Amino acid sequence: MDVNDRRLRELYARWLDIATKAGFAISLGAFLLYVGGVLPAYLPVDELPRYWTLPVHRFIEVTGAPSGWAWLDELGYGDGLNLAAVALLGLVTPLCYARLLPALVAERDWLQAALAALQLAVLLAAASGVLAGSG
């Protein structure tokens, strides 16, 4: 194993460890605010079981829940904050790749740098909704 490879793996692992722990803490905090009633709920916790079996399109229709990026307008609600916390967990991998990319370029590891950049591009495109189909 090359020393530089190990250093890069440790860099990625360190960022992954920090980001996942932070994401867990944020998720736990958001959940406690929601179930503790500290923030108002868009959908009260006790009403949730009646919606669990609904397909997404029906859930949105019945509850008036936002779709797409419109959920960002619901961050003042406990359940909206929970969704944001889960979305933050989805940023862990891109964050780690974004941190690793400059180190790969500095090491002149062009293939790995290109792969990391492409993975970031795909993740950003997917998150943006550009790749979403109609319907």
Residue 135 inside a domain? The answer is no
H-helix or E-strand spanning residue 60 = helix 56-63
Query: Which DSSP string do the residues of 37-102 spell out, in sequence order?
Result: TSS--SS-GGGGGGTTTS-HHHHHHHH----GGGGGGGTTSHHHHHHHHHHHHHTHHHHHHHHHHH
pTM of the model: 0.74
Residues 121 and 128: their CA atoms lie apart, in Å, by: 10
The domain in which residue 18 lies consists of: 3-128
Per-residue pLDDT tens listing for the chain (135 residues): 465 688 888 999 999 999 999 999 999 999 999 888 899 988 888 888 898 899 989 999 999 888 888 888 888 998 889 989 998 888 898 999 999 999 999 999 999 999 999 999 998 888 877 777 655
Tell me which DSSP letter residue 55 carries: -
Domain count for the chain, please give it: 1
Residue 124 inside a domain? The answer is yes
Residue 134 inside a domain? The answer is no
**Phi then psi for 129, rounded to 5 degrees?**
90, 0
